[in-house]
Amino acid sequence: MINAYIKGTGSYAPKNIVKNDFFESVGSSDKWIFENLGIKERRISTGETTSDLAYEAGLLAIKDANLSPNDIDLIILATATADRLAPSCACFVQDKLKATNAVAFDISAVCSGALFATSTAVQYIKSGMYKNVLVIGADTFSTITDWTRRDAVFFGDGAGAIVLSDTTEDKGFIDFILHTDGSGKEHFTIPAGGSEKPATADTTNSGGHYFQMNGQEVYKTAIDVVPKCIEEILSKNKRTVDEIKFLLPHQPSIKILQEVAKRVDLPFEKVKTNMDRYANTSGGTIPIILDETLKNNQFENGDLLLFAAVGAGWTWGTALYKW
């Protein structure tokens, strides 16, 4: 049986740091942001595009895997802030990496994007079609943020990358559970710039190209669907929460993560977070936290990692990984 395992990881964020006090002018505060969201600062691009961040993270992951760009068969890039509407951002990254043997395409699932992309990559590897797949989650939400609104506090820019390779050993991804509920599409959206509302002077002047978020709906949905999805994957695979070494979640807000952990009886020390330094990097969150966790911890064969994400759509899912 072929499975897919994590052979290398990398992450990259712009050097420019924006601290919470920056948002005092739009009616927010360091105290509110840290207490409610767990954020101290975030990285904001000063001209680097999503593909620039994705390229840097991707190159680091390829090096970490002891491979070269020529060894990559497929690049899947999860983003909601591609450099252009066409071609895909993955094409920009393939060109920058000179990964000339790689097929490349984007996946659009916003904050669940990296998990959906990883699940796709794993299917290609398990089927025997590809051996080395580069999954990247990258976003520059600074480019779709209205900096005069106080909800500008939520997001940062960043990218994380994972090289997944084939193995016949007893390790790798055990299972994914993915869900979508498109009836939630209005609760987090970028209304203009697509075929429904093409870009015009009006869409620009009315702020239609900035993200719009219903924070209460995001909170309510996240704390409902994520714990259920964690319980679903554990019970389907006859595992218990005590067997989990770490939960590597998407990073929406510290309060959401605390409530999720409480609902599934997981001690919060096992929940990896880095929102204090990066805020929510959307597609970047899971591969960035994975890269940091792998670089800073020792693992033994058989250790179990749990991944969980929820995002616009709604989209959500979990994955179980055996070291």
Q: Which residues are catalytic?
A: 111, 250, 280
Contacting ligand COA (CB under 6 A), which of 79, 253, 274, 315?
253
> With respect to ligand COA, which residue has the nearer C-beta, 34 or 105?
34
x-or-dash string of contact with ligand COA, 48-87, rule CB under 6 A: ----------------------------------------
Contacting ligand COA (CB under 6 A), which of 30, 71, 95, 151?
151
Q: In a 10 Å sphere around its CB, with 0-12 CB exposed, 13-18 middle and 19+ buried, how is residue 38 labelled?
A: buried
Q: Does 263 bind ligand COA (CB under 6 A)?
A: no
Q: Does 28 bind ligand COA (CB under 6 A)?
A: yes
Q: Phi/psi at 211 (nearest 5 deg)?
A: -65, 150
Q: Which stretch binds ligand COA (CB under 6 A): 78-86, 148-156, 241-249, 301-309?
A: 148-156
Q: Does 32 bind ligand COA (CB under 6 A)?
A: yes
- Tell me: cis bond preceding 87? Omega within 30 of 0 counts: yes
Contacting ligand COA (CB under 6 A), which of 127, 168, 216, 298?
216
> With respect to ligand COA, which residue has the nearer C-beta, 60 or 288?
288
Q: How many residues bind ligand COA (CB under 6 A)?
A: 19
Nearest of 168, 207, 166 to residue 71 by alpha carbon = 166
Spatial separation of the C-alpha atoms in residues 78 and 111, rounded to whole Å: 9
Q: Does 20 bind ligand COA (CB under 6 A)?
A: no
Q: Does 40 bind ligand COA (CB under 6 A)?
A: no
90-108 in b/e burial notation, b at 16+ Cβ within 10 A? bbbbbebbebeebbbbbbb
Q: How far is CA 38 from CA 84, 193, 201, in A?
A: 32, 32, 37
Contact 257, 310 (CB under 8 A): no
Q: Does 188 bind ligand COA (CB under 6 A)?
A: yes
Torsion sign (Cα): 275, 276, 281, 283: negative
Nearest of 270, 268, 247 to residue 259 by alpha carbon = 268
Spatial separation of the C-alpha atoms in residues 136 and 161, rounded to whole Å: 4
A 10 A CB-CB count for 268 gives 13
Q: Does 256 bind ligand COA (CB under 6 A)?
A: yes
Q: Does 306 bind ligand COA (CB under 6 A)?
A: no
Q: Does 215 bind ligand COA (CB under 6 A)?
A: yes
Tell the smallest beta-carbon distance from residue 81 to ligand COA (Å). Answer: 13
> With respect to ligand COA, which residue has the nearer C-beta, 4 or 256?
256
Nearest of 14, 43, 37 to residue 277 by alpha carbon = 43
Contact 37, 253 (CB under 8 A): yes
Which residues here bind ligand COA, judged by CB under 6 A? Answer: 28, 32, 36, 111, 150-151, 153-154, 188, 213, 215-216, 218-219, 252-253, 255-256, 280
